[in-house]
Structure 1
């Protein structure tokens, strides 16, 4: 199935990979793109907390960066790390893939780390970016530098007001979590590509794909055979039932995590989404949980509708299974 999203991104199926902070690497992204979808190198993609032998992707620290810094690494290290993963991706596929550009600031001049990723994309001739504004719409300044470097821009938008700002600033592809929001955007901006964030177990993907331009998948890829998730966490996820999970409301959305004494104790405090994220040690806690497999002080993030998944597939099998549903 090819549609206008496929033509815009030079992909074979309208499936886009949703990256999670530090949870991707070049081989995983290449596998997704090689299967016909769009893989995305996420923030700090390929960051390795255990292999300290060499390279920008290694560290001998158990603590990852500054917990108040979304990028977690200094500018040069993050740029070199992303370049490593771009090399790995290109060694394994010639198909399209994207890079996540993340910034808490409204101007590239205020964020040398994110700006350096855009410059790297230009030098490597990569033309698709997922912009992460941490709750803020794409700004005019970010749209300008990305478009001037020949880069199409995707962003997750929360509602129509958010979409209005981002699209008027230059957003090319809006990713939404609710079909009603997708339909509103389509009515107002028929030329804007709209992608629906959805788990692979969605009840009727075939109906959904007739109403939007593509599907944005998180959990199926997060636990796929090529993913870097801890084996024990993957096994626990696949054997769990609905009652084994509990919802986390974080600044960037609602997710499921395992119900553990650590999580239940924190949730008992009735914290705001930002306070909860801080109490969970932000992205350090996610790394502790999903990569290191320690749920005593770490956590996981899964889609709200993903608890019915009971089998880990390869990236190719995920694409083919989803594609079959929407063909």
Structure 2
């Protein structure tokens, strides 16, 4: 059976690696693409030091893109954060780098607007739209604007889980029934059972993050990988954020945060600062006393470190689709 996501993105397997903040690198992205999926570069991936400006983030992305191209000649994507309330966190600076480096696949994440999607399409890009809070309205808006693929994210997600607490089993068929473009299922998908279930729900591919954090090629610290393997799903906690939710391992830093939080962060720069520092500390430096480790609800199913090739192969096992 042919697969529309494979056809439109020119890939072999309808498995898209999520562009996780900090937790990607040239090696990881290239390995996923080489395995037949679509690797996606996320902001500041491949680095272990804090950034001082948006421009530095953009130039880091340029360096990693050039490394990816040396490691694979297969398609890969970059992350574009859609502007929110008129604020551009990383978007335009990184978009300009992607244009200059001729990266033609993009995961556009955030609050979808027709103008933002049309801008990306005007550059000739293949657009994977990922509404941070998926709704029928957001999905249909993305489709009208020309998005090639839409991501239906369920509350089973780890990072950037939606405000609405609809699970993956619920939101995927709702979105799939509302649009004609192909849908990617996201949230709690870490093995072939989740992939097969996603297809049964109407998705034509999957959008996977947590499973790749423990990959051999992942830049996450060994401490972090060991913690993900050790923790069970019931040992996670969901934190409310300005844009949705984060499901995290219940480390000392998360416990302290919950006990001492007196008010929600409302300043956007403060939000970016908090997310940037806590994810850098948690994922990359393995500082469980200071950082956060965001994971999906299916973290219990991750029990060993594998290569990206093995992970893609395991996810794809028994799925009846091919180019």
Aligned 1:98-177 pairs, distance under 5 A: 98-105=77-84, 111=88, 114-133=91-110, 136-137=111-112, 139-157=113-131, 158-177=134-153
1:317 matched residue in structure 2: 310
Residue 175 of structure 2 corresponds to residue 205 of structure 1: no
- Where 1:155 maps in the other structure, the secondary structure is strand
Normalising by structure 1, report the TM-score.
Answer: 0.82
Distance between the aligned counterparts of 1:125 and 1:279, measured in 2? 27
Greater CA drift, 262-271 or 230-239: 262-271
**RCO comparison, higher one (Cα < 8 Å, 6+):** 2
Question: Which runs of 4 or more aligned residues in structure 1 lie more than 6 Å from their structure 2 counterparts after TM superposition?
Answer: 270-273
Question: 2:77, 2:319 → 1: CA distance?
Answer: 23
Counterpart-to-counterpart distance in 2, 1:148 and 1:292? 39
Q: How far apart are 1:248 and its partner, in Å?
A: 2.8
CA distance in 2, matches of 1:223, 1:9: 25
Aligned-residue CA RMSD in angstroms? 2.8
Q: Which runs of 5+ in 1 are unaligned?
A: 50-62, 66-72
TM-score (norm 2): 0.83
Deviation at 1:89, TM superposition (A): 0.5
Q: Does residue 85 of structure 1 match 2:64?
A: yes
Post-superposition shift, 1:293?
0.9
Task: Report whether the alignment pairs 1:4 with 2:16.
Answer: no
Structure 1 residues 122, 64: closer, same or farther in 2, change over 3 A? closer
How far, CA to CA, are the matches of 1:147 and 1:33 in structure 2?
22
Q: Distance in 1 between matches of 2:228 and 2:211?
A: 11
Q: Which residue of 2 aligns with 1:56?
A: none
Change (3 A) 1:131 1:96: same
**Structure 2 residue ranges without an equivalent (≥5):** 154-167
- Distance in 2 of aligned mates of 1:253 and 1:202: 27
Does structure 2 conserve the Cα–Cα contact (< 8 Å) formed by 1:262 and 1:295?
Answer: yes
Question: Is the 2:192–2:315 contact (alpha carbons within 8 Å) kept by the matching residues of 1?
Answer: no
Match of residue 75 from structure 2? 96
Is 2:218 aligned against 1:227? Answer: yes
Count of aligned pairs:
300
Q: Distance in 2 between matches of 1:303 and 1:17?
A: 14
Q: Secondary structure at the match of 1:131?
A: strand
